[in-house]
Structure 1
């Protein structure tokens, strides 16, 4: 029997992951066995690997000494015990299991500290823990306990070494040292819960399905060294009849996913129905459909996500509804005597902050989606939803100057609560030129998109006012940074040239004033046109300029070449990767799924500038990847497909204990930018660095500006 150690089961995310909802083929049930040490690198022989530190009003460095101990070099102990909190993630605690936990500790001064194995969310209560005094002599801490609560797949080991009870009142800088952490399951006989591990498929495809006329490709993969060969069949799941068969082709090794691959092309199958693919010894795919309305449901759900993210108003939904939230006025950072009503907008991500920079991207993606594909939104009142965000953005502008506050949030991220239960003071953080330029671009676009509505005039005025501020305010060389003690999203940017370029392009396209065109031509389109992200927005500017009434002069030709060169660069990635994804091997980073959706959007925009069927086909391939044709076997949109994320880093979903449907999660992040990912995915190939866990915020969070390009992409590929 295999030992049920989480790190072993997910170290190769290619083949095993965890799901606790829908069942799929090849389920196997395993019982936990007694194990070796569940704490990775508990002796610090690998430095600080897998260990991190949380700071809240305290100051300290986390080091590993020459003797192989973790040293917490405390500079300022802060006002409470958790002001300095080293921690480790990446282990399980099973209900009924008996565990033995131990470690060694000593300190350069006499003091107390708290140790805990705790729930990592909600009220952060401890499953086991205690306070101990420590001095220069090494002390061995040991505890044996029974896990009485429901199985926790993402607890946290914490050490609270800030100013706690029993510490010297005048405690100053010093060091506390830890070593030899050990956690073992010593008795599994009391464990009654069954853990179901879901084996992922070796035949991966778009789990939602395909339009009848679409190109239809599945990827067959193997970890063995031999190239893949053989045949495949498409089977009607109702009749079990084989409706299509063919040979596996294009066998090769795919570097990003670290596996042998081949493709099964069944594009000629167009009859509507429900099917699965069988590929001999390589197994079979999840079920999928062929239908003319295949994307209707997922588009509706992806758009509704924005409604469910609304702030400042009552949201009606059986699972995720809530009363009004965040309705108090927000004080201005550094001037608490001044406050503004900034009610409204969308909660940005898994938290409840509202940030102008990503809001501009999200609103503009949706406006472009509507403008380019109106028929896709015949049953969706998407303009009302966009207007809800735009009207909040208007409140973020200072009327007297035109400058725009960068963000409004509380000082720290909230706990695992619904939005109406975040009660801390709202603070408007300082204005930034990046936020002001993004705001100007969004408002100029809105003036055009809403030209038949009375709101158009106020959007127009706000856009021009913002640009007037920018003309008088050069970039300060640093950009926005979070004020001291703020831990919510910074959305910082080290330069704002691309934001200013985008603003000018939108202003020129909407108003036709030559002054904007002349200012725009001062920029280098090659340097500007890098991305459609929140930080690099130059491709928005290039597209809007190229689709305006600007004369087709030499600058226009240079801009067009730069724009299409970027699209063609991504086309090369599609051609090289077995899964037809537009990412290079090294682009699986935080929010990689946004990169995929953005690139799909780029292909569709390029097709409008220079029509080419390769662009449209490549865009559809990005949908296939996001919906399951990838090495993880996940459909990355919650609530759709056979295997989709059920534990997103999203507070309303965490409270409801079910995922809000229609959310695109972040996806594989080969940089392993959260402790849970680092503890469990250190050996996974680039494209397989994904894990479905609330604790993996770098893989499994959601945001408005990841859903927005996905909405554009889906709405542009429905025919």
Structure 2
């Protein structure tokens, strides 16, 4: 069962951060100059001398390199059509887009595309920074109808060079329609931020004094190379020769290996130098992973809903943020869903403030967070029954508001989500409408049945529309839990 927020937050949602991530798709406008031409379907647009920046611009490879949200995408005969049945209330509620682009300051760019629609409607064509604060570099309002037209625009990038930009057709907040695109093009000089990667690769965190210490060196040399370990003052403390490994199939690089396991003395700010190239500084110590479990548990605090994340409890000032959804009173979904099913809602409300946000959006889930709760509690309980095991996260060891309250800090953090889970329970005597049994083969015509749901729990609370832009939804909690358990004893 799902409950949805009674009031859906609009553009203001972009100011709310989740674990250091800003979510929302707010466009800040067009900061570049643009010249517009509207051509007939048979006209030829002027070709730029610079290269094509878009991948698969003619849709010859189907949907490859493009993403869509809020609609259904179908590609046929070089034309990509987005079926829009739920236009939403924001332009970004329906998007066809592509990321991975780069614009250079002072350079000129040309945008071309052909578009048609099943009905007379409008949309936005834009290029913006692909992430907060979504700075706009190109933004044009387009009117489109059943007759296909080719549109051409020229603009100059006046903002600083940006290696992380995205091209989008924002199709939301308009009519239900099928909007089709072909011959999409963005031409100009591509900007790529140069990243200098050392050829000498080490564990940047460090190595245990008595553990094996292996470094990888990118080199085409067929002969071993001399290496040196230097301390913070540049003094050579160990030397040796690399071993030629050859082709690393995973990276496609020819590499050498350097084994400096003989170095067992605790050290800080040391580097490995091979053939004149130095590694990142690293250290040798017994406590290289000691702080990792605390950083991992800190994720849960930073991902809390319903509470201000204060600077004194986070590692960096930019991780602090106002409270998200501080007083969350919700009811059952009572509208038509994306598949056309009409949900009747229910006659009660729940205050479900608190809990942990799931990932990059503002959804909170009983199942996902419940697994995290169990894992953390199991970590605590395990220490009570294993001989000589140290109880993890004793009171006062974690930087959270509840610290020094005579309760284990791990239990303090878990309680924040347990109370949310309890708040998601259906009150005694209340009824809700649900699809009973396996109806996955008929999602467009669900059979809904009213049941007495006393004591059952809703599985999530979320906005009607996602408050995040297109992203790969990673279950971060699983990654965090792995690190907490793996390195607990270090």
Please classify the TM superposition score into its range, dividing by the shorter chain length.
0.5 to 0.7
Contact 2:127–2:139 (8 Å) recurs in 1: yes
Contact 2:245–2:254 (8 Å) recurs in 1: yes
Aligned to 1:146: 156
Aligned to 2:83: 74
Taking a change above 3 Å as real, the CA distance of residues 74 and 708 of structure 1, as seen in their structure-2 partners, is closer
1:36-115 alignment runs, 5 A limit: 36-55=51-70, 59-65=71-77, 69-72=78-81, 74=83, 76=85, 78=87, 84-107=94-117, 111-115=121-125
1:156-305 alignment runs, 5 A limit: 156-161=166-171, 164=174, 174=178, 176-185=180-189, 197-222=194-219, 224=220, 229-238=224-233, 240-249=234-243, 251-274=245-268, 275-280=270-275, 283-305=277-299
Aligned counterpart for 1:411 among listed residues 445, 459, 464:
464
The Cα of 1:120 is off from its aligned counterpart by: 4.1
Aligned to 2:128: 118
In the alignment, structure 1 residue 382 sits paired with structure 2 residue 410:
yes
Taking a change above 3 Å as real, the CA distance of residues 91 and 203 of structure 1, as seen in their structure-2 partners, is same
Taking a change above 3 Å as real, the CA distance of residues 269 and 75 of structure 1, as seen in their structure-2 partners, is closer
Contact 2:112–2:183 (8 Å) recurs in 1: no
Contact 1:104–1:181 (8 Å) recurs in 2: no
SS in 1 for 2:371: helix
Contact 1:113–1:160 (8 Å) recurs in 2: yes
C-alpha distance after superposition, 1:338-375 (max 9, x if no partner): 22232222222222322222223323443344444636
Write the distance in 2 (CA, Å) between the matches of 1:163 and 1:354. 26
SS in 1 for 2:347: strand
SS in 2 for 1:405: coil
C-alpha distance after superposition, 1:614-640 (max 9, x if no partner): xxxxxxxxxxxxxxxxxxxxxxxxxxx
Write the distance in 2 (CA, Å) between the matches of 1:351 and 1:146. 33
Write the distance in 2 (CA, Å) between the matches of 1:205 and 1:368. 34
Aligned to 2:331: 331
TM-score using structure 2 length: 0.67
In the alignment, structure 1 residue 714 sits paired with structure 2 residue 471:
no
Write the distance in 1 (CA, Å) between the matches of 2:116 and 2:141. 14
Contact 1:43–1:180 (8 Å) recurs in 2: yes
Contact 2:292–2:484 (8 Å) recurs in 1: no
Taking a change above 3 Å as real, the CA distance of residues 162 and 339 of structure 1, as seen in their structure-2 partners, is closer
Where in structure 1 are there 5+ consecutive unaligned residues? 1-33, 165-170, 189-194, 417-694
Contact 1:106–1:134 (8 Å) recurs in 2: yes
Write the distance in 1 (CA, Å) between the matches of 2:226 and 2:471. 38
Contact 2:94–2:172 (8 Å) recurs in 1: yes
Write the distance in 2 (CA, Å) between the matches of 1:250 and 1:153. 36
Write the distance in 1 (CA, Å) between the matches of 2:413 and 2:93. 40
Taking a change above 3 Å as real, the CA distance of residues 35 and 300 of structure 1, as seen in their structure-2 partners, is farther
Where in structure 2 are there 5+ consecutive unaligned residues? 1-48, 334-342, 384-388, 399-408, 429-453
The Cα of 1:286 is off from its aligned counterpart by: 1.0
Write the distance in 2 (CA, Å) between the matches of 1:185 and 1:95. 10
Aligned to 1:129: 139
1:331-370 alignment runs, 5 A limit: 331-333=331-333, 334=343, 335-370=345-380
SS in 2 for 1:105: strand
Contact 2:69–2:95 (8 Å) recurs in 1: yes
Contact 1:368–1:712 (8 Å) recurs in 2: no
C-alpha distance after superposition, 1:577-627 (max 9, x if no partner): xxxxxxxxxxxxxxxxxxxxxxxxxxxxxxxxxxxxxxxxxxxxxxxxxxx
Write the distance in 2 (CA, Å) between the matches of 1:73 and 1:151. 31
The Cα of 1:289 is off from its aligned counterpart by: 0.7
Write the distance in 2 (CA, Å) between the matches of 1:291 and 1:300. 18
In the alignment, structure 1 residue 309 sits paired with structure 2 residue 324:
no
Write the distance in 2 (CA, Å) between the matches of 1:40 and 1:352. 31
Taking a change above 3 Å as real, the CA distance of residues 266 and 156 of structure 1, as seen in their structure-2 partners, is same
Taking a change above 3 Å as real, the CA distance of residues 72 and 82 of structure 1, as seen in their structure-2 partners, is farther
The Cα of 1:122 is off from its aligned counterpart by: 5.1
The Cα of 1:197 is off from its aligned counterpart by: 2.2
Write the distance in 2 (CA, Å) between the matches of 1:359 and 1:227. 52
SS in 1 for 2:217: strand
1:604-615 alignment runs, 5 A limit: none
Taking a change above 3 Å as real, the CA distance of residues 131 and 185 of structure 1, as seen in their structure-2 partners, is same
Contact 2:213–2:259 (8 Å) recurs in 1: yes
1:534-613 alignment runs, 5 A limit: none
SS in 1 for 2:311: coil
SS in 2 for 1:153: strand
Write the distance in 1 (CA, Å) between the matches of 2:144 and 2:95. 16
Write the distance in 1 (CA, Å) between the matches of 2:288 and 2:84. 58
Write the distance in 2 (CA, Å) between the matches of 1:352 and 1:172. 26
Aligned to 2:421: 393
| Higher RCO (Cα < 8 Å, 6 or more apart) | 2
The Cα of 1:209 is off from its aligned counterpart by: 1.0
Larger helix proportion of the pair: 1
Taking a change above 3 Å as real, the CA distance of residues 399 and 279 of structure 1, as seen in their structure-2 partners, is farther
SS in 2 for 1:62: strand
Taking a change above 3 Å as real, the CA distance of residues 360 and 216 of structure 1, as seen in their structure-2 partners, is farther
Taking a change above 3 Å as real, the CA distance of residues 216 and 402 of structure 1, as seen in their structure-2 partners, is farther
Write the distance in 2 (CA, Å) between the matches of 1:127 and 1:198. 24
The Cα of 1:262 is off from its aligned counterpart by: 3.8
The Cα of 1:91 is off from its aligned counterpart by: 0.8
Write the distance in 2 (CA, Å) between the matches of 1:293 and 1:54. 45
